[in-house]
Amino acid sequence: IGALLASFVYVPVSWFDQGFAPLGTLGVCTALGVALGFYLLLEATKAVFRAYFLLELIEKAALAKLASEGRLRAFCSRREAFSKWPERQPILFGESYGDDRGSVHSGYNSFSGLK
Residue 115 contacts by C-beta under 8 Å, 6 or more apart in sequence?
106, 107, 108
> Does the model's pTM come out above 0.85?
no
- For residues 7 and 17, the answer to whether their CB atoms sit within 8 Å is no
Residue 70 contacts by C-beta under 8 Å, 6 or more apart in sequence?
none
Q: Which amino acid is at 105?
A: H
Residue 66 contacts by C-beta under 8 Å, 6 or more apart in sequence?
72, 81, 85, 88
pLDDT in tens, the chain (115 residues): 778 777 777 777 677 776 776 678 888 889 899 999 999 999 999 999 999 898 888 888 888 898 888 888 888 888 888 888 888 888 765 543 334 444 444 444 444 444 4
Query: How big is the CA angle at 43 (ends 42 and 49), to the nearest 5 degrees?
Result: 90
Q: How many CB atoms lie within 10 A of CB 108?
A: 20
